[in-house]
Structure 1
Amino acid sequence: MPRFASVAALTSAVLLALAGCGSNDEKDKAPSAPAGVTVQAGSATSVHVMWNQPPAKAGIKGYEVYRGKTKIKDVPAEKTMIDVTGLKPSTAYTFSVRARTDEGAFSPYSEETAVTTPAAVAEDKEAPTRPEMLTGRSDGARAARLSWAKATGDQGITSYDIYQGGSKIHSVGGDATSAQVTRLRPGTHYRFTVTARDAADNTSPASRAVEITTPRGPGDDPDTAPIDFRATTHAADGAHYVDLSWLAPKTGGEVPSYQIYIDGTFATTLIWGGEAPKGRADYSVYVSKEAGETYRVKLRAKLPDGNWGKFSPERTVVTGKPGPGDAPTARP
C-alpha cells in the first residue's frame, strides 16, 4: 500500500467540511439561468447542446440538461456541451439547461430551445469525405477562427465537429464552413481538426490539423504555475502531514481545482467545496505515521480552457522536523 494511501479519504473529509462552510444566505442564493443555449442536429438521431460559460464568480458546480420536462444528463462544471443520442428522425424536441451549486441551489431553467432532427435515410455506411483546406488564425488573445471547404457525402452533411487535440469542443451545422472557438488562453499553442457527419451518423476522417498560437495581450501572464508555492510539515495525533500554501496562477478566472503530486506520482485532486480562496490557499495532506521520511511535493492548476497548467516548483520536506527544517527548498 502506498505510504500516502489515505490521501483520498482525508481529501473527502476536508472537502465535506469546506462545503459545509458559508452562511445560509450563500446556500439559498441561486445562480442565474445558463445563457446562450443552442441545439444543433448532428444526425437523424442525435443533437449537440451547448451553452455559455458563466463568470467564474457565479460558483457553478454543474449543470442539468433537460429534454422537454425530463432530465437526461448531469454535466460537470468544466463542460458546457453534450451530445444527445438515441433520438427519433424527423422529430421536434426542446432542450433546456439549469445550473446547480454544491450548496444545493439551482438556477432557473434556461429558455427552451427547439430543434427538429433530419429525416431518416436509407442504410448508409459510407462516411463523408474529410473536410479539406482547413485554415485558422487567432481572433484576439482568447479565441480562434477556423474555416474549411465543404465535405461531400451520399446523404449530405448534417454537421461539422471541431476537435482541440483529441477532445470535441464545438459543432456547427452542415451548411457552415467556418467557426469561432472561444475560451482559449493568451500565449498558448493549440491544434485543431474538423470532421463531417451525415444524417446516418457516419463520421468522416479528420481534416489535416491546423496549429494556432494565441497572442499575449497587455497584462496576460503566460506562466500558469501556482505562485509562491510553499511546503512544510506538522504532526498531529500520531500522524504526519505536509502543509501546502500557494497563490493561484493568473488565469483570467477562478481556479476551481488542483492536482497534487507526491514523489512524482499523482496523489489527489483538490476541488474547493465552496468558493475558491481569493488570496493564499492552504491545504494539508496526510503522508505517514513515521518521522524522518522525505517527500517531494508539487501541484498544478486546472485552467479555464480545461487544460492543466504548469507544475509549481517541487518542494522537499522531511516529516518530524519542525521549524527551519521544514522550510521549502527547491529540488534540483
Structure 2
Amino acid sequence: MKLFFKIQTISLILMMVLSSCSNDENSDGLPYNNINEFKVEHEGKQIYGKIEGATIELNWPCNAQLPATLKPSIVLSDKASVLPLSGTEIDPVKVTTYRVKAEDGSEKTYTLKINYLQPIINVEGVETPIEASFRHDYTIFGEGFSKNKNENKVSLVAEDGSKEYPLSIDEAQVLNDNGYADRLKIVMPKKEDMPAGSYKLKVVYGNRSVTTKKAYFNVKDLKLPYITIPESMISEIEGVRCIVLNSNEKHELKGENFEAFGGASQIFFTWRTPTSQGSDSSELTVVNSNSIQFEKSDWVDANKLYQRAYIDYRGEKNVRISVYLRDNAGNLVGVYFK
C-alpha cells in the first residue's frame, strides 16, 4: 500500500513538472504593445496627443510658436518598449513613427501627426506694385500675423526667386482683434544693401508662410524726406531714448530730401503710445533739402512721453509720407513734449 502511494506521489510530481515546462515553452511574455499616453511640455503646459488606432494627433495650440524640436513623454503597455525612446528629441516638421514592441516580440507602429492650429497667413494684394523708397517705412495689410513683431519674418523676393532680402519689422498692429495682428509696419533696406527693382513680398510666421504671386513693391531711390536725430539732441527719459521739444520755440530737424514736401505749409506730428495715438498740426518751413523747421505754440499733451514719433505729410495724389525720427544708427527715438 505504501508503495502504491509513493508511485502516485511521484507521478503527480512528474505531471506538475511536465505541466510547468509545457507552460514555459508556450509563454513568450506579455502581448501588449500600445502607447497609452503621449504628451509634450511647452511653456509649462502639458499638450496631450490623441491616440486613435495607429495615429497620434497632437493639436498644437493657437498662437504658440512651434519650437525647432519636441521632446515627447510616452507611457507604454506593461513591459513594452518603444523606439524612438520616450524623451528623445524629434523634428516636428518631419514625419515621426514610433515602433512599440511587446514583451512577446509583437510590434505595432504609430505615426505622429501634428495639427498646427495657426490660421493661414494672407497679405492683401495690390494691383500694381507700391512705389517704395529705400530706408522708408510701409504698412502691410493682411491677417494671421503674430502680435509679437519678433515672431514674424518679412522679406523681399526677387521676381525670378534668385535672391531674398529680409526686412526689419517696426511694429505689429491690430485693427480687428481675432487673436492675430493684421498690419505689419516694415522698414525698407538701405540702397547699398539691396539693388533697386521689383520684388515679391514674403511673410512667415510659425509654420505658415505666404509669398505674393506678383511684385508687391517697386523699390527705388525716390528721394523722400528722411530725418536723423544727432546724439547731442537725445536724452533718456523713463528709460526711453528721445528728443525733448519745448512749446513756443522753433524746432529744426536735420535729414535728407525735404524738398519733397514741396510748398507745404503744415504737417501733422503724429504720436503713438502703448495705449493711445493721435496727431497735432504744426507750422512747417522747409529751410533747404536737408533741414526743416516747425513750431507749435501749444502742445495738446504737455509733459508727455511718446515712444513712437514721426511726421506725416499727405503729398500729391494723396500719397502719404511717414518720416520717422531715428538716431544716426537708424534706431527709432521717442519724443518728450515739455
TM over 0.5: no
The higher-RCO structure (CA 8 Å, 6+ apart) is: 1
Higher strand content, 1 or 2: 2
* Structure whose CA Rg is larger: 2
TM-score by length of 2: 0.31
**TM-score, normalised with respect to structure 1:** 0.31
